[in-house]
Amino acid sequence: MKITDVRVFELVGRSRDGVALYEIERGGLDPGEVSPYRQTFTEIITDEGVTGLCPGGSAAVKAFGQNLIGEDPTCYEAIWEKLTTRPHSATRNLSALSILDLALWDLLGKMRGESVCRLLGGPVRDRIRAYAGMLGFDTEPGNAAARSAEWVDKGFTALKWYLPNNEEAGKAGLRHNVELVGAVRDEVGPDVDIMVDCILSNSSRNSVLYAVELARQLEEFDLTWLEEPLNPDDFDAYEQLGQNCSIPLAFGERLPTRRLFAQAIDRSLVSVLQPELFVIGGMTELRKLAVLTSTHSVPMIPHANESCRHAMHMLFTLPTRFSPLGEWGVKINHNVQYFYRGFYEPVDGYFTVPDGPGFGYEIDPDKIVSQKEL
C-alpha cells in the first residue's frame, strides 16, 4: 500500500445553534453570534482505496503532505522521522505533521478494521471520568455558577473554568477571577473537582508576583489544579510559583517537544502535564510522551478540546494512576464534531471506550451545504 494523495477541503454547514453558540467573544465572533458550521479536513488517500481523515488543515498542510506521496502508511515511525529531520525542521512543521500523523493513524485503523485504541494495545478500563471544560460560557460569577450546576446535574463531577482576566486588568480583574471561582464552588459544593485555566486571559503577560497572589486567593476553594498561569516556556517562573503556592500546577498544551516535557519533569515543575496532539506531532509522539510521564509518575491529561476524539483512544490504554481524567470541551465539541455521523461524548460524566475503525468518525454528507478544495 502506498500513499497517492493528500487533500485538504473545507465544509460549510447550516447555521450554528444551541450549545455550539459561544456566550463570550470567540474566534472573531461576538457573544451569541450565529454563523455557519465550518470545518477543514485533511484526507490521506492510498492506492488501495483506504483513506485516513483528520479535522484541521490548510494549504500549508496540503503542501507539506506532498512529502508523504509514495510512502507506506504503515511505516508511521519512518514517516515521522523523515518529516522531522533535514531538510525539514524538528519543530517548524509540527502543526502540519500533527494533522497528517493523526490522519495516518485513522487510516491504519480503517485498514485493519480496528479502533486506534486497539492498535495502541487496547483498553485497560471501561470508563474514564470526564471533566467539563466550560470554555465559551459566560464568566459572570452568577451565570457561571448556574451553568456549573447544570453540568453537574448531567453527571459531571469535575469542571474547568477559564479565567477572563490577566494581570493587566488590575485589582478589579483579579477580584472578578476570584469571585468567579468562589461562586462556582459555592454552587457545586465540596465534592466536585474544580480546575482553573488562565490561558484565555493571555496569561503569558502575568508576572510571578501576580500568579502567586492569584493562587493564594484561590487556595480556599480547594482547586484540583491551576492551569497555564504563566508564559508556557518560562520554567524558572513556574518553579518560583510552585514554591509559593499549594495548588497543584498544570501546563503543557503549548510545549512542542518531548525534550521540554522531560525538562519540566526533571525540575518537578507541575503535577499534571497536558500535551496537545495538534501541537506535539500527533499520536506517534503522544505514545512516547505517555511512556515518559508514566515512568516518572506524572499524570498525563492531554489538552483535548479539538482533539478529544483522538486523545481518548490513548487514554483508555493507560491505567487511572497515569491518566485519571479526560477533557470534554463542551462547546468546542459541539462545533468540531458537527459534520460527523455520530457524536462521541461522556455519558453521566464518564467517557466510554471509543469505537473504530480508526478514530471512529466519518463525515455525514447530509450535513454539508457547500464544499471546496484548498
Digit-coded pLDDT (tens) for 254-266: 999 999 999 999 9
Domains along the sequence of the chain with CATH: 3-115 (3.30.390.10), 119-352 (3.20.20.120)
- Cα torsion 5, 90, 277, 181 to 10°: value is -150
**Mean pLDDT over each residue of the chain, to the nearest integer:** 97
Q: Provide the pLDDT for residue 142.
A: 98
CA-CA distance, 40 to 240, in Å (whole number)? 41
Residue 92 pLDDT level (bands cut at 50, 70, 90): confident
For residues 269 and 235, is the Cβ–Cβ distance under 8 A? yes
CA-CA distance, 17 to 32, in Å (whole number)? 9
Q: What is the pLDDT of residues 20-61, one digit of tens each?
A: 999 999 988 999 999 999 999 999 999 999 999 999 999 999
Q: What is the pLDDT of residues 168-199, one digit of tens each?
A: 999 999 999 999 999 999 999 999 999 999 99
For residues 123 and 312, is the Cβ–Cβ distance under 8 A? no
∠ CA 315-148-183, rounded to 5°: 125
Encoded amino acid at 197, one letter = D
Q: Provide the pLDDT for residue 72.
A: 98
Distance of CA 187 to the CA centre of its chain: 27
Average of per-residue pLDDT across 113-127: 98
Q: Provide the pLDDT for residue 27.
A: 85
Residue 122 has pLDDT above 80, yes or no: yes
Q: What is the pLDDT of residues 212-238, one digit of tens each?
A: 999 999 999 999 999 999 999 899 999
Question: Residue 129 gets which letter from DSSP?
Answer: E
The set of cell numbers assigned to 291 is 511512556
Q: Which residue do the cell numbers 469571585 mark?
A: 179
Average of per-residue pLDDT across 69-87: 94
Residue 244 has pLDDT above 80, yes or no: yes
Phi and psi at 253, nearest 5°, equal: -65, -20
Q: Provide the pLDDT for residue 337.
A: 98
Residue 86 pLDDT level (bands cut at 50, 70, 90): confident
Which distant-in-sequence residues (6+ apart) come within 8 Å of 61 by Cβ?
6, 8, 42, 95, 96, 99, 100
pTM, two decimals, is 0.96
Least Cα distance to 95 among 331, 285, 344, 362 occurs for 285
Q: What is the pLDDT of residues 291-305, one digit of tens each?
A: 999 999 999 999 999
Q: Strands 249-251, 127-133: parallel, antiparallel or unpaired by DSSP? A: unpaired
Hey, which residues does 120 pair with through a beta bridge? Answer: none
Residue 373 pLDDT level (bands cut at 50, 70, 90): very high
Q: Which residue do the cell numbers 471512529 mark?
A: 360
